[in-house]
Structure 1
């Protein structure tokens, strides 16, 4: 595939991630994804023979992987403070660009996906566990004792997710900024 060209599958997954983050699982339809992505209808049957549910699960996994990337760099683990700064920058940008309409797609799947996507709970568990383990290992790699690293990782994931929800409700990045400042002081 030529550089800069995005496949119809990737466009559809990107659209599904966006719609999951703004509308939740109930708000994702095949027609909505096709309209947003510009992909041809035949792409659904080719790339997602399981239909809507398969598309939503692919989007949730992709969203999880994208957030995990903030805790990595090419030459090894990023410093925990730098990871927090990257996460804060990402969320500030997304929140303001979406006029506080976009949140975490995994939270959306957790809160409202169970009746829409039978695999939702398991996908959310895996993604949140993965983020927790990744941040725990990152902290441990930078000298934080394992037990403390595990507790700080739980605090970090829960605090950032909660801060994004509060930021949306308050239409301000202040909750996110406060949480990031406190987490940075802890590490």
Structure 2
């Protein structure tokens, strides 16, 4: 059910996704959703956002270790580019969807903020390990995540990946330039 909720949040947003939608998508028995999420949709949104944030965090950590920060951001851009194109621009970042959710979803927004912070911290730590000063590493990492997340929304709204492609190219250049300063 959580995976189905993540997919639906990615496609519709948190506010527009109902328990009935999650039950239909997951093919779970109707009563099971109330058993697993006695806190209702707010609990579902919080737990699905936590899952989505951790999945992206794992992808970031694996890519940082294997490929470095620039290629990690490129991998994130490529992932969302494929999702946007494959879904005819319906799908985007489920963590961003939670961040933009309405008033009843404070816990999901808090989890989304923590996910963004964790991603930034992992990227900043790798940039620091490669020689950037801590403040500079944090600034580059925050700018990279914020730029990519914003570009995903622009690409979705424009129904064109051009903004995401351009943002991805520039983010990789920023990272490479920052690392070249300390090489």
Deviations 1:40-69 (A, max 9, x none): 123213322222221111110111111112
Structure 1 residue 110 and structure 2 residue 112: aligned? no
Query: Contact between 2:61 and 2:122, CA under 8 Å: does it hold in 1?
Result: no
2:61 aligned partner = 72
Is the 1:78–1:138 contact (alpha carbons within 8 Å) kept by the matching residues of 2? no
Partners of 1:145 and 1:122 in 2: CA distance: 28
Show structure 1 runs of 5+ residues with no match.
1-11
Counterpart-to-counterpart distance in 1, 2:73 and 2:155: 16
TM-score by length of 1: 0.86
Q: Normalised by the size of structure 2, how large is the TM-score?
A: 0.87
Question: Does the aligned pair in 2 maintain the 1:135–1:153 contact within 8 Å?
Answer: yes
Q: Select which of 8, 21, 26 maps to 2:15.
A: 26
For 2:119 and 2:166, locate their aligned partners in 1 and report how far apart those are by CA, in whole Å.
Answer: 21
The Cα shift of 1:157 comes to 0.9
Matched position secondary structure for 2:15: helix
> How far did residue 70 of structure 1 move?
2.4
Unaligned runs of 5+ in 2: 176-183
- CA gap 1:75/1:16 in 2 versus in 1, 3 angstroms: closer
Contact 2:154–2:163 at 8 Å: present in 1 too?
Answer: yes
Contact 1:15/1:37, CA 8 A, preserved across alignment? yes
Q: Please give the secondary structure, in 2, of the residue aligned with 1:100.
A: coil
Measured at CA, do residues 159 and 74 of structure 1 come closer, stay the same or move farther in structure 2, by a change above 3 Å?
Answer: closer
Q: Determine which structure has the larger helix proportion and give its number.
A: 2
Match of 1:122 among 83, 92, 110: 110
Alpha carbon RMSD of aligned pairs, Å? 1.8
Structure 2 vs 1, CA of residues 137 and 27 (structure 1 numbering), >3 Å: closer, same or farther? same
- Equivalent-residue separation in structure 1 for 2:135 and 2:171 (angstroms): 17
Structure 2 residue matching 1:112: 3-state secondary structure = coil
**Superposition deviation, residue 109 in structure 1:** 1.6
